[in-house]
Chains A and B, each alone.
Chain A
Amino acid sequence: MTDVVTSPAVDLQQLSGGELLPSRVPGETRVVVPLVTLPRACQVIVDGVGARLATMVAQDERAETGSFTLAYTFAIPDRRWMTIECQVPADSPAFPSVTPLVPAAHWYEREARDMFGLEPEGHPDLRRLVMHDDWPAGVFPLRKDFDPSIPVPRVEADPYRFHTLHGDGIVEIPVGPFHAGVIEPGHFRFAAVGEVVLALEPRLFYTHRGIEKLIEGKSLDHGLQIAERICGVCSLSHAVTYCQAAEQILGIEAPPRAAVIRSIGLELERLYNHVGDAGNMCAGVGFMVGVAHGARLKDELQRLNEQFTGNRFLRGLSAIGGVRRDLDVEFAAQMSLELARIAREFGELTAMILGSETTMERMRRTGILPGDLARALGVVGVGARASGIDLDTRRDHPYAAYRDGETARRRDGKTARRPDGQNLPPSPAVGRGAGGEGYSAVGRGAGGEGHSAGGGEGFPVPTREEGDVAARLLVRIDEVAVSFALIQALIAEMPAGPLIAGWTPPTTDAAAFSATESPRGENLHWLRVNAQGTIERYRVRSASFPNWPAVAAAAPGNMVPDFPLINKSFELCYACLDR
């Protein structure tokens, strides 16, 4: 919305050699480049300033400009975004692939090929990704001339060609799409020699529901109902991301009290996920006591969610312009006490897990994701932080109450005050609970006194260097401590004021994007509305999208029976990915 042409922005423009366009969100530099220079421009941004490919948005603008557009958006350290755009002519829908130079573009370009029929020339892998093989050739669901009301027949097609390894003793193990437990569907094809995995190829997108197309033509409010249901366990993160993108378009901002309530909700979402995940990781090694306690505490957190919002998955809390529910003083105090108890019990659980040598031995050096590989794939969230990448959207692109300024809540680190003025006991989550016998679970930045509840430099982002299953567990445990402390701090300093800002449907064509840190990592929603006030294009890049290739990359060299453990340690959603 605001045009921020600062000097670093100009530098970025010079780096990519493009022509400057008005930016869509604060901190964005947006340039358009000729088609032939697209891959080089992307590479220069990635290599030159250490940018991470955050999303790629294809659009069918044939009716307006006679061409398709592609926009590669990069996250740049220091709270900036860089978008490189180009136009793809309608009569020859092909573009030079960025993937050979920027591997993170791999799936984005395959998806654009499936959904828009845009051919990435020079892409190393041109198999179907989102649409499976019985979807007819030449039918592209996200093109504007595709009518979703006409049923699309299944066609006979060659079966999907998995990469196969040949050699003595190599066995292929197909698994899925349905699995033995209560798990989402996806197919995994292992190539193994004896117990050892040589290669793993996932075949996903089974739960593809066509959400990006479905939402087109809907009002902003209707769109929220769908966006909130992209994923169950990331419901609030998706809802808030969508609302923030819409608010950006509308030129409004959630009031301070709403921002704090959103952040409390987002941290509750992180808590019930991380606590449950820490327990579920124990299932990967058969440490069932850990599983049971994790599931019990997760359920208690979900009951708290229900008391707070009326829904165990925090659905219905966020609205465009703010929140629908208040957090009154009495319930906030009750929540604070309940969270303190759960934090204490989670501390007992982590001490139990970290003190179980057989459990930790299975987790250490298992499923290693090297940092350079994680960087090349554009991995986000716990998976990235456990491989030494210091990234967290809450700090890097602050939103809600993580921002500095008037909504930031800073905490003195010692005494949180209850809304009625009485002192609360210091949060047991802080500095305690995480460390088990002989292990320091607390990585860089986390734990200890002096948590800053506001965003900015002081925001604690725990990282580990090992990149193994144990590192992902420890990062989660540290993040749980941060979240408990953050909620206590936010409750202690709730600003007064309205819960929601008013708005009227937009009357001009406008686009914006927004990102939040879900329990799985950065969710990024790109939203465009038209002059009729309905949604023209919606692009969801969930945390699971860049992270799934990392799961496949972390498996080789491990035992086949360790794959469930490795998979659980990343804990990605299929629904978030498939949409």
Chain B
Amino acid sequence: MSTLHPLIPMLQSRQDEDASTLGQKFSDQVQRVLQRSMQIRHLDAGSCNGCDWEIQSLLCPAYDMQRLGLDIVASPRHADCLLVTGSVTRHLEIAAIRTWEAMPAPGIVIAVGACACGGGVLQGSYCTAGGVKNVLPVDISIPGCPPRPQALLHGLMLALDRIEQKLHHSNHEFRIGRSEA
């Protein structure tokens, strides 16, 4: 479609003037807060895979989050924030906690999607924790079933603010990290 849906906002293409302005501001902020790119670790804690495919689509040329200084990394030890999808199943709960424990401070946790935010349609199941907040300390919640890629980018912008707050309000010990403390 040459005319895009009115709900598909900025950030959708390199050519879009507003998108490039907003994108520039975002990547400047990443640089200012972290003095490098922002590293994201994805963790599927028992989702339907809808949220996960939307996270994957952030890497496609239409959104290309790497141009903003955001990237998905292979290990929680490299991650500034954790994108958690799913309501946290019984079989993944321990692995999810271990993943979070392996992250350096401040270790921002982002709950992605209705299930991660509050259990979604799975409330009352014998096999799920009913949301990430029941297992890990959640900093940012991105609602949606699944959230659109634009909502994910918005959530990541909020996560960056959160990182800045936590770094600003902490002393040196915070930067050293939980696992070494």
Contact = CB atoms under 8 A, between A and B. Distances in A.
Interface of A: 132, 135, 141, 146, 148-149, 152, 177-178, 180-185, 205-211, 213-214, 225-226, 229-233, 235, 292, 295-296, 298-300, 302-304, 306-307, 312-313, 315, 334, 338, 573-575, 578
Given A295-B59, A295-B60, A231 B46 contact: no
A238 to B, nearest CB: 9
B89 interface: yes
Contact of B91 (A132, A180, A575): A132
Contacts of B8: 303
Contact of A229 (B53, B54, B90, B121): B121
B24 interface: no
A205 B43 CA distance: 16
B121 A208 contact: no
B136 to A, nearest CB: 14
Nearest to A149: B124
A236 to B, nearest CB: 12
A178 B145 contact: no
B89 A207 contact: yes
Contacts of B53: 232-233, 313
B52 A182 contact: yes
B125 A210 contact: yes
11 contacts: A132-B90, A141-B127, A181-B74, A182-B52, A232-B49, A233-B53, A292-B60, A296-B62, A304-B1, A575-B47, A575-B48
B91 A233 contact: no
Chain A binding surface, main DSSP class: loop
Interface in B1-50: 1, 4-5, 7-8, 42-44, 46-50
Nearest to A148: B126
B128 interface: yes
B146 A296 contact: no
A423 to B, nearest CB: 21
B4 A235 contact: no
A232 B47 contact: yes
A233 B50 contact: yes
Given A209-B127, A229-B120, A181 B47 contact: no
A298 B59 CA distance: 12
A209 B46 contact: yes
B95 interface: yes
B95 A296 contact: no
A79 B51 CA distance: 36
A148 B125 contact: yes
A211 B89 CA distance: 12
Interface residues on B, range: 35 or more
Contact of B4 (A208, A302, A303, A575): A303
Contact of A296 (B44, B61, B125): B61
* Most A-side CB within 10 Å, residue of B8, B92, B125: B125
B141 to A, nearest CB: 18
Contacts of A206: 46, 89, 91-92, 95
Interface string B59-85: 111110000000010110000000000
B90 to A, nearest CB: 8
Contact of B44 (A132, A184, A211): A184
B4 to A, nearest CB: 7
B126 A303 contact: no
A229 B48 contact: yes
B130 to A, nearest CB: 11
Nearest to A141: B126
Nearest to B122: A209
Contacts of A213: 125-126
B148 interface: yes
Contacts of B63: 299
Given A209-B127, A233-B49, A235-B50, A225 B121 contact: yes
B165 interface: no
Contact of B1 (A205, A207, A208, A338): A338
Contacts of B44: 178, 183-185, 207
A232 B55 CA distance: 12
A296 B60 contact: yes
B128 A209 contact: yes
B92 A177 contact: yes
A315 B145 contact: yes
B170 interface: no
B61 A208 contact: no
A207 B124 contact: no
A155 to B, nearest CB: 12
Contacts of A207: 44, 46-47, 86, 89, 91-92
A578 B125 CA distance: 14
Given A295-B60, A296-B60, A298-B60, A182 B122 contact: no
Contact of A184 (B52, B59, B60): B52
Given A177-B92, A299-B60, A303-B8, A211 B125 contact: yes
Nearest to B41: A178
B92 A210 contact: no
A306 B5 contact: yes
Contacts of B57: 295, 298-299, 302
Contacts of A185: 44, 46, 92, 95
A578 B7 CA distance: 34
A206 B120 CA distance: 18
A232 B74 contact: no
Contacts of A302: 57
B142 to A, nearest CB: 15
Contacts of A230: 48
Contact of A205 (B47, B52, B91, B125): B91
A475 B145 CA distance: 31
Given A211-B125, A214-B124, 6 more contacts: A233-B53, A299-B57, A303-B4, A306-B7, A313-B53, A575-B48
